[in-house]
Structure 1
């Protein structure tokens, strides 16, 4: 799989560190079911996902990668800072 870094261009996925699903943090500062779900539970979908990756062996930027887990197609790559993550 190849990822298109917005800063460095297209690179092999081995240059990147996969962090996991790009999830929105719960709004509440109080521990509750939303925080429990955010920390402990993950889906394993077959289809389109939004993941957080770091270009570890390149520019170091954090990226939001939208990809299809069935076809392995990379649909979009955006800087996490610009994507609001």
Structure 2
């Protein structure tokens, strides 16, 4: 799975309530092969708040026991 290259940006504008908000979400790689989810939210045309959620999951192919055993037990792989 690849990190998302383009962040997701959502806006909510309600003139009747004098409300203008934004929400942004992006998945970015870290220096040590992990991932970080970067969330930003706040009022439009303002700096907003930010929060980082670090993931300890390392993205590498999984090896299962099914991949290591032959399909037929009588078959010998040399």
Q: State TM-score, norm by structure 1.
A: 0.30
- Work out which structure has the larger RCO, using CA pairs closer than 8 Å and 6 or more positions apart in sequence: 1
State the structure with more CA Rg: 2
Which structure has the highest strand share of the two?
Answer: 2
Which structure has the highest helix share of the two?
Answer: 1
